[in-house]
Structure 1
Amino acid sequence: MKGLMLAGGSGTRLRPITHTSAKQLVPVANKPVLFYGLEALAAAGIRELGMIVGDTHAEIEDAVGDGSRFGLEVTYLRQRAPLGLAHAVLIARDYLGDDDFVMYLGDNFIVGGIDDIVARFARDRPSAQIMLTRVNDPRQFGVAQLDDTGRVVGLEEKPQHPKSDLALVGVFLFTPEIHEAVADLKPSARGELEISDAIQWLIEEGRRVESLTISGYWKDTGNVTDMLEVNRLVLESLESRVDGRVDGDSELIGRVVVERGAVVERSRVVGPAIIGTGSRVSGSYVGPFTSISPDCAVVASEIEYSIMLPRASITGVSRVEASLIGHEVQVTPAPDTPRAHRLVLGDHSQVQLSS
């Protein structure tokens, strides 16, 4: 069985971060989301992987390489534009050949891996096996409708009036029959070839489509809120480790990782939290569920429930929380100008200012 990892999306919901970075490489607990998916595929026994890449292909290829560090043999497949999940299957046709395959969306995060799901598919070999989870607002997802016996009878992509609260999780398993379905598709109203339409084609043709409703944790890390929540979840399983330098005037409370080359001085760090390689925390407070990436600086500041990307700095700021701070960002106090704020913000930024 082969794998197909989708890492070509533009990440519009994570702008302005994704104006300069691939969304799949935004880290949680100081490791890119994409890497968790690659590790899950390898743990499930996948060895050959096709990686669908788009405009950020150079960054993805630099981070993943040939895949050997994950136990994978990666082949890169260019997608000229994000034209839908089924379009990714279409352009991977020659690579996939007549093999069964698992398709994994590179910005999805599933606790517990996919070992059992892949094993079940290999044993039963339905035409397609989908994963479902209950969500509060199914209008944002592909939605499945089941009959009284639990059989999949219909799929809709981001419907305005959902027929259930069962959303498609970003992991799909297919036999080569899916290629017949994809070849018969027409673009949707969104101008994309929808994988939900391809699975619906299988259903209407009488092919066997099975579903598995997962009760564990799943997130599509497509926005800041979900990124922070996944970061929180991963940090919950953190084990304390101090490989860097912590001076005698500092206090580490709970599960804290200080990576090699990091320095904590005259500071208080309350875990779970991670301080990345080469970072410096000085005269500051770092609160729970905070990931500080390599080569960052937190000086005379407070930060909690946040992610700092590499080479960012916070200096002299009283409180930062629930924030995603991009590469090389500098956060400093505003000058004492009455009733004035000076801002330099990227497109689609969201800013909250105290009155």
Structure 2
Amino acid sequence: MNRKSFDNIDNVFSNPPECFDKFRLIVDQGLFDCIGPFSNELKKTMGYHLGFNDQDGNLLDKRSAGKSLRPTLSLLVCESLTSDYLPVLYSALAIELIHNFSLIHDDIQDRDTERRHQKTVWTLWGEPRALWIGNTMRSLADSTQSNIELDSTIMLKAAELLSQASMEMIEGQFMDVEYEKRLHVTSDEYLLMISRKTGALIRCASELGALHSLNDEYITTKFRDFGSHLGRAFQIRDDVLGIWGDTKITGKPVGSDILRKKKTYPILLALDVANEVDNPELASLMFQSEISDLEMDKIITIMSDYEVFEKSQNMIEYHSELALECINSVKDSLSKWGYNQLCHLTNYLAYRLS
């Protein structure tokens, strides 16, 4: 399949499902309430990162934030199974707090100065304060989840799942740091890393939505698998956009991941192919101390020759199809609206433009 045909598919699924709008205010209000009890400076800094206020503490008319994918997924799964999102609300907020804890630390690790079109926390207030803000969010996640008033068995299981996912996410971050030091990383190693760094919390979000609704072992397992495949598709699509994304939509220059020498799935896939065909040119270009714009164009040309875009998107579609199979296996337990939204969400994440 060529790039033009992918563009046509992109246009079909580029609009997000309505569940994002349906749950946005619920997630926003929940997070705002979570940071409410803290002292002014702590609340200001957390509120800034979460998109509620500017760096001086002035509240914004509209929250400036990302997609809130993880809590939206939890709420969607729970409501799809029981027509009620409330049982999983606190767990969903806890997952989002852990995710944001990881983003603050990730910005320091990658030396990123901007996130969501604003300066990062460590850039404004320094690394020590940023680390403490991140750690506070991680602790806040545990106290938020403890607000759940459900069967003690479910509460313990939910806490176990959240802790496990958090540890896997941290392990994935550690693997990511280690891979930066290594000259050669295989695409299979990368897939294992993203299943932890990105996939663990998405898997957990989906699984908790099912656990808090029906607590049916078969259904919960299917949503665990659904989240695992969704997480891989989500990250690889991120990687695709990091090279071929539209600058006007993503806010990043074409080939930004190449210029930053990030070991993403398309890049590692291209290096695997180059090694198979005994072509050292790509590796010599990628492993320079700096990559010029002209060299970046050459790298993209080689990747095009190796059909890396198509192969990467094929991997996204592979995991998306497996995710949809999980949904279809429990279709009879889902509301019609919920089933349609879960299918739309899966396709949207596979072909999103930003």
Higher helix share goes to which structure?
2
Higher relative contact order (CA 8 A, sep 6+): 2
TM over 0.5: no
Higher strand share goes to which structure?
1
